[in-house]
């Protein structure tokens, strides 16, 4: 590579915009990518797992003289403006437990092992050593300052494929096969999104009251139904999959008074008379139902006048498969480096997720749901696109910080008949 073809390190270039005199090192890694990097801003080997990690996701312990990455331990987040950022991770040493900053902040603080001489760096690398006289130009929104400059070329596609027909697919069979996995999953409280993002908002909107008759459509193994019953509601849960077997067995033990019925959601009026329920809810299921128009018509029929209907779904615009999640650089652990690109929003062909066990989803645009609500005499009372609370951000910084601020993963709707 000639001098005219030399490429500066992506991070050195960005830091030089805010720190007067910051050295511009030549990129020796990923030189042809959108994020070429020098050795200082490349990857470091974790002494615990042996994997190479992006410099913003690994810390150096000067006591033990070892690196620990945030995959091996539980990191914490510290909010502080520095360089082009407004937070950094502190990572406990896997050996002694001392908390140490990730290398991006360590460099800013003058504590990077290259800066203090604990490790030898490659010849030709100019190491910045901060001093009190350094002029640092802070930015109003550090984490957004340069995100839009990056070309969104690094993507991760989920294990799924579009189906032109359901000739060889039985949705109920797929859910039956997935039942043990989902039951185990929910019995442990569900994942981060269910426990901290979806269910708190669903429960707020349904607002279960003493002796209200509530129908839980596609109740699965019964998590929501049990919560409503514990709040004094008279609950009926319906489902077609084998997950209902687990719900029934648990009800036999807990005796909460829930009436679990094996019933297709398209046949509600065959079991229940018109106006049977004060409230109806359908949690994270409408996108898994092919004939959602019929289901909404049936829900309207068995819901009383002025009754409340609450449903939650994967956000049609900002979740798989309409969205791709990407990182630039691809191995970065910082949340602002994770972005979403909307693709195929109007493609309504069914999606088969080929993970183990496989599941199926019926994608449709937001307007499809709302137009069908109007058709069935519903008026939207409230719409929620939930995001993490400050408490959740502090508890799960890598999952929550900025991620839920950028785009919502879920859509929750409260409607009145």
| Closest residue by Cα to residue 83 from 150, 26, 14, 24 | 14
169 with 141, same domain: the answer is: no
Contact of 161 with 355, CB cutoff 8 Å? no
Structure tokens at 216: 């839980």
176 with 269, same domain: the answer is: yes
Give the pLDDT of residue 179.
87
pLDDT, mean of residues 196-225: 97
* Token pair 């309409």 in the structure block, residue: 322
Could you report the per-residue pLDDT of 303-314, keeping only the tens digit for each?
Answer: 999 999 999 999
Helix or strand run (H / E) with residue 104: helix 103-108
Give the pLDDT of residue 284.
96
| Closest residue by Cα to residue 321 from 286, 291, 349 | 349
Residues 6+ apart with CB under 8 A from 298: 265, 266, 267, 268, 269
Report yes or no on 152 lying in a domain.
no
28 with 101, same domain: the answer is: yes
356 with 212, same domain: the answer is: yes
Q: What is the CATH number of the domain that holds 293?
A: 3.40.50.150
pTM of the model: 0.76
Domain range for 316 = 160-416
Report yes or no on 406 lying in a domain.
yes
Higher-scoring residue by pLDDT: 22, 185: 22
Report yes or no on 253 lying in a domain.
yes
Q: CB neighbours (10 Å) of residue 200?
A: 14
Which 8-state DSSP code applies to residue 353?
E
75 with 16, same domain: the answer is: yes
* CA contacts within 13 A on the Cβ side of 106: 27
Report yes or no on 220 lying in a domain.
yes
Higher-scoring residue by pLDDT: 271, 138: 271
pLDDT, mean of residues 90-114: 97
Q: Can you give the length of the chain in residues?
A: 417
Helix or strand run (H / E) with residue 210: none
Question: Is 50 exceeded by the pLDDT of residue 335?
Answer: yes
pLDDT category at 143 given cuts 50, 70, 90 is: very low
Q: Measure Cα distances from 238 to 12, 123, 224, 272 in Å.
A: 58, 68, 12, 11
pLDDT, mean of residues 273-298: 98
Residue 125 to residue 123: CA distance in whole angstroms: 6
Q: Which of 147, 169, 198 is the last residue of a domain?
A: 147
Contact of 89 with 76, CB cutoff 8 Å? yes
Give the pLDDT of residue 6.
81
86 with 6, same domain: the answer is: yes
Structure tokens at 90: 């502190």
Question: Is 70 exceeded by the pLDDT of residue 155?
Answer: no
Question: Is 70 exceeded by the pLDDT of residue 148?
Answer: no
Average model confidence (pLDDT) across the chain: 89
75 with 27, same domain: the answer is: yes
Q: Which residues does residue 37 pair with via DSSP β-bridges, in sequence order?
A: 29
| Domain count within the chain | 2
214 with 345, same domain: the answer is: yes
Report yes or no on 153 lying in a domain.
no
Contact of 236 with 248, CB cutoff 8 Å? no
184 with 115, same domain: the answer is: no
Question: Is 80 exceeded by the pLDDT of residue 80?
Answer: yes
Give the pLDDT of residue 379.
98
Angle at 324 (CA atoms; ends 383, 373), nearest 5 degrees: 25
| Closest residue by Cα to residue 270 from 261, 280, 257, 279 | 261
Q: Which residues does residue 415 pair with via DSSP β-bridges, in sequence order?
A: 309, 380
Give the pLDDT of residue 308.
99
Residue 275 to residue 272: CA distance in whole angstroms: 8
pLDDT category at 353 given cuts 50, 70, 90 is: confident
Question: Is 90 exceeded by the pLDDT of residue 114?
Answer: yes
pLDDT category at 169 given cuts 50, 70, 90 is: confident
8 with 90, same domain: the answer is: yes
* Token pair 């058709």 in the structure block, residue: 375
Question: Is 90 exceeded by the pLDDT of residue 316?
Answer: yes
- 3 state SS of 281: strand
pLDDT, mean of residues 140-164: 54
Report yes or no on 109 lying in a domain.
yes
Residue 158 to residue 182: CA distance in whole angstroms: 19
55 with 167, same domain: the answer is: no
pLDDT category at 396 given cuts 50, 70, 90 is: confident
Give the pLDDT of residue 402.
65
pLDDT, mean of residues 62-67: 98
Q: Which of 84, 116, 147 is the last residue of a domain?
A: 147
Report yes or no on 154 lying in a domain.
no
């Amino acid at each position: 590579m000639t001098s005219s073809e030399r490429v500066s390190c992506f991070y050195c270039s960005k830091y030089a915009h805010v720190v007067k005199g910051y050295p511009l090192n030549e990129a020796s890694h990923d030189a042809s990518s959108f994020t070429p990097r020098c050795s200082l801003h490349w990857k470091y080997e974790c002494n615990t797992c042996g994997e190479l990690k992006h410099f913003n996701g690994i810390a150096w312990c000067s006591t033990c003289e070892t690196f620990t990455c945030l995959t091996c331990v539980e990191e914490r987040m510290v909010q502080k403006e520095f360089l082009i950022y407004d937070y950094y991770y502190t990572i406990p040493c896997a050996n002694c437990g001392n908390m140490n900053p990730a290398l991006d902040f360590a460099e800013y603080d003058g504590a990077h092992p290259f800066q203090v001489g604990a490790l030898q760096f490659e010849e030709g690398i100019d190491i910045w050593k901060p001093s009190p006289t350094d002029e640092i130009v802070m930015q109003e929104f550090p984490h957004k300052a340069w995100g839009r400059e990056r070309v969104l070329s690094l993507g991760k596609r989920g294990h799924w494929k579009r189906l032109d027909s359901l000739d060889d697919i039985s949705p109920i069979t797929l859910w039956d096969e997935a039942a043990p996995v989902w039951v185990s999953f929910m019995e442990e409280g569900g994942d981060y999104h269910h426990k901290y993002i979806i269910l708190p908002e669903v429960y707020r909107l349904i607002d279960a009251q003493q002796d209200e008759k509530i129908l839980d459509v596609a109740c699965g193994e019964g998590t929501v139904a049990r919560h409503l019953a514990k709040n004094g509601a008279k609950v009926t849960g319906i489902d077609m999959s084998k997950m209902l077997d687990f719900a029934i067995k648990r009800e036999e033990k807990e005796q909460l008074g829930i009436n679990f019925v094996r019933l297709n959601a398209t046949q509600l009026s065959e079991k229940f008379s018109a106006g049977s329920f004060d409230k109806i809810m359908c949690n994270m299921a409408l996108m898994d139902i092919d004939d959602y128009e019929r289901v909404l018509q049936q829900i309207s029929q068995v819901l009383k006048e002025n009754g409340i209907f609450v449903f939650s779904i994967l956000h049609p615009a900002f979740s798989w498969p309409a969205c791709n999640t990407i990182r630039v650089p691809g191995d970065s652990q910082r949340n602002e480096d994770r972005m979403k690109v909307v693709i195929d929003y109007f493609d309504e062909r069914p999606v088969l997720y080929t993970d183990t066990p496989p599941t199926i989803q019926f994608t449709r645009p937001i307007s499809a749901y709302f137009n069908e609500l109007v058709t069935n005499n519903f008026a939207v009372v409230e719409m929620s696109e939930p995001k993490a609370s400050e408490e959740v951000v502090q508890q799960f910084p890598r999952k929550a910080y900025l991620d839920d601020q950028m785009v919502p993963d879920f859509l929750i709707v409260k409607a009145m008949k």
